[in-house]
Chains A and B, each alone.
Chain A
């Protein structure tokens, strides 16, 4: 039983790939990757499932691969979610400490967290994460654990991430149709950050930008806590689409061109790229200058949106550790230089740290989210308390339905 608990599976149903990573927590909290399964994704656009049937099949195939490579049986997974509908804000809750000796007990801490989470979100939204940032006792700043302290008033800051309930449920529903259990869900940016950042980075302040196939997720840490998150539903797909439109070539060719010849650096001298003849497609010549121009414009725009958002929230001065770019698009040539120009901060192309296993998996930025999910699982198992987890909040209404399905299947 113990050994089983130490095997966790992270699953990302992404726009370009469905990927499952099997991890084992070894002594000292380090993670060893023991299996990977990955298939091209067919049912997802901009981070959200648009074709349930195709997505379910992809998940199924990826997990079979993962099971085979790790030689384990997978019962439940930790899944990442994303989508342009996700919103976030920071909120402060407060309670009066009413017991006689004015000592802050677990009751007060629980109540203040409840109070901080009691926020006005649109009717169709559900809170995905409510992450505690810091406590205040009688206005005194920056308290990590207020338990046992004396005071009259306890306040707590939380970062709330919420999204459209039905759209979040789609991913869960798809996984359950495989059938598999979803142990918990996490927003992609949070998972990626857990993989890419060390505790020191988080303390210094950092932004992690996960530029994937369909979305760009970002998360800002300041003083060790999450200060801001965001999702822009623009990713590698958009770059490919821009190339296809701009150079008038089909999507699959545009994608190959992006990977083989694409760069975010603007060229002074033009080069001609010969597109090789394929069945049914004529020989074509395209300008590398134009290709890079199109790509540069798109990525620069997206990064600028993030920069503006960070500036607007006045977080630029707190990013001591700099910018970490991960996700498939992090591999685009010239990304580091472009991002350095935009942010004016040190830029790292992020990959996962403190994990061991097949290096090809660990060092590729596109696996950050899935590996981060394993770390997330580690965390959510450790401080398990009675508060409902993200998955419980999101799947409240469908739970009964799935229980019935499972009963039928068993």
Chain B
């Protein structure tokens, strides 16, 4: 259910919770650049102290970024130019500089990879960056922006292929379909605004994790919890947040979160197999606030494993932000990607092999048992309401019988 941990006066252990953000490709570098410029003018910024790396093949694009470590990859292949949308080129460029990437990811607890999929460098190089970081023992979380529908089928297919590659390498991939940015930003938003909103979203996601792990917590989530919730699941990650102020802020924030188009009206939560809730409030935040914020979400997400954390930020007086990252088991829409996910699993320490194991070999043999998958929520009968518009209320589909949603078993 909900593992709640008491604060163990967390003194930040730099290596384990050290966080690095890699922006890969044009879109990724832009996002990183924006985070950098936001931090630069503001020592109190929640992300202050974060390490940023901009990775690109295009030297000219890199030169426009300040406040981040710059890393040009594949100079022998592209000669400082872009990849021109060639994924293969992006992949080779990154592989050529794999050692430098590994060095950059050394001694880092968490690596965020920010990339726009559909282009050459972002799509091709991001999986390589993920692999490099993973080999250094970091938890790798990728935030990827998927192309707009109007960018064409070709780009979309490239993005999907890239996503599969990335999923095989990273611990969790959080997708932000650019089309949904329209809904966030509104029809009238300018193109610059819309992209900026995308970058902001990424920054918020990174920030949420960072705060979750590094800040003084009312209820601390530690690294193991995070790995537990997101580690090696190779699922689709979705992300939403809500902020509210005022008396009823926790309820309002939940409402905003569920209404956020990125979360498709909260439906996602019902299907999630792991949910990470992060509540951030000011010093005036009460435990009741936290409860009101977390309770409705964990109720909807009752199918999955819910992990929560609550943190305090001095600047957040009378304000509350809830960020939820949900991992949804990807439907078996295609064969597993070539790289086996199991290979990246954390190695089990071999010293632990007990002497008694030789006595009962039968018990050990059980290990490779196939895990039974849960059926997707669509399988729940809607009966009479099959063809009608679902009745959504706070993210729940009320057409589904209450006893099913509440998990009440009717024993025969």
Q: Is B410 an interface residue (CB 8 A)?
A: yes
Q: Which residue of B lies closest to A233 (CB)?
A: B391
CA distance A305 to B398 in the complex (A): 11
Residues of A contacting B384 in the complex (Cβ-Cβ under 8 angstroms): 45, 237, 240-241, 244, 251
- Please state if B403 and A294 are interface contacts (CB–CB under 8 Å): yes
Q: Is B404 an interface residue (CB 8 A)?
A: yes
- Please state if B391 and A234 are interface contacts (CB–CB under 8 Å): yes
- Please state if B391 and A84 are interface contacts (CB–CB under 8 Å): yes
CA distance A294 to B408 in the complex (A): 9
CA distance A246 to B385 in the complex (A): 15
CA distance A246 to B406 in the complex (A): 13
- Please state if A241 and B391 are interface contacts (CB–CB under 8 Å): no
- Please state if B388 and A232 are interface contacts (CB–CB under 8 Å): no
Partner of B401, one of A232, A245, A305: A245
> Using a CB-CB cutoff of 8 Å, which residues 386-412 of chain B contact chain A?
387-389, 391, 393, 398-399, 401-404, 406, 408, 410
- Please state if A301 and B385 are interface contacts (CB–CB under 8 Å): no
- Please state if B383 and A251 are interface contacts (CB–CB under 8 Å): yes
CA distance A305 to B402 in the complex (A): 13
Interface size on A, residues (CB 8 A): 25
CA distance A46 to B404 in the complex (A): 20
Q: Is B3 an interface residue (CB 8 A)?
A: no
- Please state if A232 and B393 are interface contacts (CB–CB under 8 Å): yes
Nearest CB in chain A: distance from B185 CB, A: 18
- Please state if A46 and B388 are interface contacts (CB–CB under 8 Å): yes
- Please state if A232 and B398 are interface contacts (CB–CB under 8 Å): yes
- Please state if B401 and A294 are interface contacts (CB–CB under 8 Å): yes
Q: Is A125 an interface residue (CB 8 A)?
A: no
What's the interface size class on B, roughly? 20 to 34
- Please state if B385 and A241 are interface contacts (CB–CB under 8 Å): yes
Q: Is A298 an interface residue (CB 8 A)?
A: yes
Residue with the greatest number of chain A CB neighbours at <10 A, chosen from B251, B393, B401, B406: B401
Q: CB-defined interface of B57-78 with A at 8 Å, one 1/0 digit per residue?
A: 0000000000000000000000
Q: Is B381 an interface residue (CB 8 A)?
A: yes
Q: CB-defined interface of A45-68 with B at 8 Å, one 1/0 digit per residue?
A: 110001000000000000000000
Q: Is A181 an interface residue (CB 8 A)?
A: no
- Please state if B403 and A246 are interface contacts (CB–CB under 8 Å): yes
CA distance A297 to B400 in the complex (A): 12
- Please state if A238 and B404 are interface contacts (CB–CB under 8 Å): no
Q: A238-B398, A245-B401, A246-B401 are in contact. Are A297 and B408 (CB under 8 A)?
A: yes
- Please state if B398 and A297 are interface contacts (CB–CB under 8 Å): no
Q: Which residue of B lies closest to A247 (CB)?
A: B410
Q: A233-B391, A251-B383, A251-B384 are in contact. Are A242 and B410 (CB under 8 A)?
A: no
Residues of A contacting B387 in the complex (Cβ-Cβ under 8 angstroms): 45, 50
Residues of B contacting A312 in the complex (Cβ-Cβ under 8 angstroms): 248, 251
Residues of B contacting A87 in the complex (Cβ-Cβ under 8 angstroms): none
Partner of B388, one of A50, A244, A246: A50
CA distance A142 to B381 in the complex (A): 51
Q: Is A290 an interface residue (CB 8 A)?
A: yes
Nearest CB in chain A: distance from B287 CB, A: 20
CA distance A293 to B407 in the complex (A): 12
- Please state if B391 and A294 are interface contacts (CB–CB under 8 Å): no
Nearest CB in chain B: distance from A332 CB, A: 15
CA distance A238 to B390 in the complex (A): 12
- Please state if A242 and B403 are interface contacts (CB–CB under 8 Å): yes
Nearest CB in chain A: distance from B84 CB, A: 42
- Please state if A297 and B402 are interface contacts (CB–CB under 8 Å): yes
- Please state if B393 and A45 are interface contacts (CB–CB under 8 Å): no
- Please state if B403 and A297 are interface contacts (CB–CB under 8 Å): yes
> Using a CB-CB cutoff of 8 Å, which residues 199-248 of chain A contact chain B?
232-234, 237-238, 240-242, 244-247
- Please state if A298 and B381 are interface contacts (CB–CB under 8 Å): no
Partner of B385, one of A45, A294, A297, A305: A45
Residues of A contacting B401 in the complex (Cβ-Cβ under 8 angstroms): 238, 241-242, 245-246, 294, 298
- Please state if A245 and B398 are interface contacts (CB–CB under 8 Å): no
Partner of A232, one of B383, B391, B404, B406: B391
Q: A293-B410, A294-B401, A294-B403 are in contact. Are A245 and B383 (CB under 8 A)?
A: yes
Nearest CB in chain B: distance from A13 CB, A: 16
> Using a CB-CB cutoff of 8 Å, which residues 176-202 of chain A contact chain B?
none
> Using a CB-CB cutoff of 8 Å, which residues 27-78 of chain A contact chain B?
45-46, 50
Residue with the greatest number of chain A CB neighbours at <10 A, chosen from B381, B387, B393: B393
- Please state if A45 and B399 are interface contacts (CB–CB under 8 Å): no
Q: Which residue of A lies closest to B394 (CB)?
A: A305
- Please state if B404 and A245 are interface contacts (CB–CB under 8 Å): yes
Q: A244-B383, A290-B410, A293-B410 are in contact. Are A301 and B388 (CB under 8 A)?
A: no
CA distance A297 to B404 in the complex (A): 10
Nearest CB in chain B: distance from A27 CB, A: 45
- Please state if A242 and B402 are interface contacts (CB–CB under 8 Å): yes
Residues of B contacting A237 in the complex (Cβ-Cβ under 8 angstroms): 384-385
Residues of B contacting A232 in the complex (Cβ-Cβ under 8 angstroms): 391, 393, 398
Nearest CB in chain A: distance from B183 CB, A: 14
Beyond the given pairs A297-B403, A301-B406, 8 more chain A to chain B contacts, judged by CB atoms under 8 angstroms and listed by A's residue number, are A45-B384, A46-B388, A50-B387, A234-B391, A238-B385, A246-B410, A294-B402, A294-B410
Q: Report, nearest first, the 8 A-B pairs whose CB atoms are least far apart.
A: A242-B401, A297-B402, A233-B391, A241-B383, A298-B402, A45-B388, A241-B384, A290-B410
The 9 listed contacts between A and B (C-beta, < 8 Å) are A46-B388, A232-B398, A238-B398, A251-B384, A297-B406, A297-B408, A298-B402, A301-B402, A312-B251
